[in-house]
Structure 1
Amino acid sequence: MDYEEMNYQSLSSRQREWNSSLAFSALMRKVYVWMSLALVITALAAYGVATNPVMTEILLSNPVLMWGIVGAELLLVIGLGAGVNKMSLTVATTLFIVYSILNGVMLSSIFFIYSLGSITTVFLITASTFGVMSLYGYVTQKDLTSWGRLLMMALIGLIIATIVNVFVASPGLTLIASYVGVLVFVGLTAYDTQRIKQMFLTAPDAGEHMQKYALLGALNLYLDFVNLFLYLLRIFGKRE
């Protein structure tokens, strides 16, 4: 191998590293931009429904519609996760926006249960906690893979406890589940952030294919934020 060929390979390697670095920055930025936009859409949808008597009456008087929205949300999340590779970026983004709106419709009920002041306060607490844990997941050198397994088991237990509590309606179980839920989603925020970072560290470019994975990353962090907010609201929210 002569000098010119070695020099060419060295320049080519540096160029690939530079391109990968640019792609990483662009993709991580898109994750947080999309997540933030989804939160804004959800908040506007929730407040819009809560302040519209007609829409509120339709939702509260029609349980079938409420369950239909829940079912649609589940299908959208499952569909995005399983079929994102077969979708265009435009379709995937549209589904994410639709999910954000539907979730806002469902969350409109919190405005009838908790005071606006406590909702605002808990949102700020959630944003601060989320920010700290996401930063930790981003900068830590510790491998959080083991966290993922433990947190998923805890999440399954939390779901089971929530279903059981629908029938027993225990205030004590609700409070315990709320504290466990906070711990689970605080941990998931750090874990998901690190997982997203590792996925994009070797991204060759920021093309449409990788942007769809950035959208999925935004969806994961969005779900972490919303669930953390709801569990904190159950603990610290002041009822109307």
Structure 2
Amino acid sequence: MAQFDTVRTAAGTRSATIDAGLRAHMNKVYGTMSVGLLITALAAWAIGNLAMTTDPALGAAQFSDTKYLTSFGVTLYTSALKWVIMFLPLGMVFAFGAMINKLSAAGAQLFFYAFAVAMGLSISSIFLIYAGASIVQVFLVTAIAFAGLSLYGYTTKKDLSAMGTFLMMGVIGLLVASIVNLFLQSGALMFAISAIGVLIFAGLTAYDTQRIKNDYVAHAQHGDSEWLAKSAIMGALSLYINFINMFMFLLQLFGNRE
């Protein structure tokens, strides 16, 4: 009986340790993601302001009735450089996945923050196209939706792993359709891509949250602190990408264009 109590106590202690570690791990994931979003927002705002002016004397090209592109904006958005900027974040994601095993946890975190800057550069044109108040409103809606979906993924007892393959196929389909629409410029196709994109990345938010949680529980008992640190950064990257994509698709659907 005493031996049984000892085993039960040890199991309970182990479970409590994992629970405490999981909370710390998820806090690291959300904290890293939040810093990444802040970096992206600041980078996008700063670059958007450098690229745009309302003073005709400082403008190099007219963008709208009241806005002008500076020489920096012309280089950024109308030259061949725009294609590099557009696909830079995607290339960095693939590079991150290939390099993660060779990087230290500190190196992985630095790479993530560099990626956040690149994403800010890539989406900076939203400050030329959409009203500032509209961007803030859609961001807040995205944050509320993201929080609810992530909380569901963390707390639900339902196994969401079956969704993974289906959702990733959907992401590939969205990517192909978006590239095709760069040439077609179809409003109807853009609306469909945005609507489906919101649903896909909403599902991925819940799925990735549960996956991050399950990965920690599966590996915590091995005590590999370096792996867990890099796992938190990769988890932050996954949730960050889901948030940014949901935000951009919602902005395309409901944003107020100037």
Q: TM-score, normalised by structure 1?
A: 0.90
Question: Quick one: which of 56, 69, 85 aligns to 2:73?
Answer: 56
Q: Which residue of 2 aligns with 1:133?
A: 149
Structure 1's consecutive aligned runs of 4 or more residues displaced over 4 angstroms after TM superposition are: 5-12
**Distance in structure 1 (CA, Å) of the matches to 2:99 and 2:20:** 27
Q: Which residue of 1 aligns with 2:225?
A: 207
- 1:66-105 to structure 2, matched below 5 A, reads 66-105=82-121
Q: For the Cα contact (< 8 Å) 1:154–1:184, is it kept in 2?
A: yes
- Secondary structure class of the residue paired with 1:155: helix
Structure 1 residue identity aligned to 2:194 = S
Q: Which deviates more, 21-30 or 219-228? A: 21-30
Question: Quick one: which of 137, 140, 144 aligns to 2:160?
Answer: 144
**Distance in structure 1 (CA, Å) of the matches to 2:8 and 2:102:** 37
**Distance in structure 2 (CA, Å) of the matches to 1:168 and 1:75:** 23
- Secondary structure class of the residue paired with 2:100: helix
- Give the fraction of aligned pairs with identical amino acids, expressed as a percent: 42
Question: Quick one: which of 148, 158, 164 aligns to 2:180?
Answer: 164
Equivalent residues, number: 237
Deviations along 1:56-100, one digit per CA (max 9) or x if unpaired, are: 344135423x33334542332122223212211111111000000
**Distance in structure 2 (CA, Å) of the matches to 1:9 and 1:190:** 35
Q: Which residue of 1 aligns with 2:248?
A: 230
Q: TM-score, normalised by structure 2?
A: 0.84
- CA gap 1:170/1:67 in 2 versus in 1, 3 angstroms: closer
Q: For the Cα contact (< 8 Å) 1:28–1:200, is it kept in 2?
A: no
Offset of 1:12 from its aligned partner?
4.4
Offset of 1:177 from its aligned partner?
1.0
Structure 1 residue identity aligned to 2:45 = Y
Higher relative contact order, chain-length normalized (CA < 8 Å, sep 6+): 1
**Distance in structure 1 (CA, Å) of the matches to 2:29 and 2:224:** 12
Structure 2 residue identity aligned to 1:46 = A
Offset of 1:49 from its aligned partner?
0.7
Structure 2 residue identity aligned to 1:211 = A
Q: For the Cα contact (< 8 Å) 1:35–1:222, is it kept in 2?
A: yes
Offset of 1:139 from its aligned partner?
0.9
Offset of 1:138 from its aligned partner?
0.8
Instruction: Give unmatched runs, 5+ long, in structure 1.
Output: none
Question: C-alpha root-mean-square deviation of aligned residues, in Å?
Answer: 2.1
Counting helix residues as a fraction of each chain, which structure ranks higher?
A: 1
Q: For the Cα contact (< 8 Å) 1:46–1:107, is it kept in 2?
A: yes
Q: Which residue of 2 aligns with 1:18?
A: 16
Structure 1 residue identity aligned to 2:50 = N
Q: Which residue of 2 aligns with 1:111?
A: 127
Structure 2 residue identity aligned to 1:208 = E
- Secondary structure class of the residue paired with 1:215: helix
Offset of 1:16 from its aligned partner?
3.0
**Distance in structure 1 (CA, Å) of the matches to 2:173 and 2:96:** 24
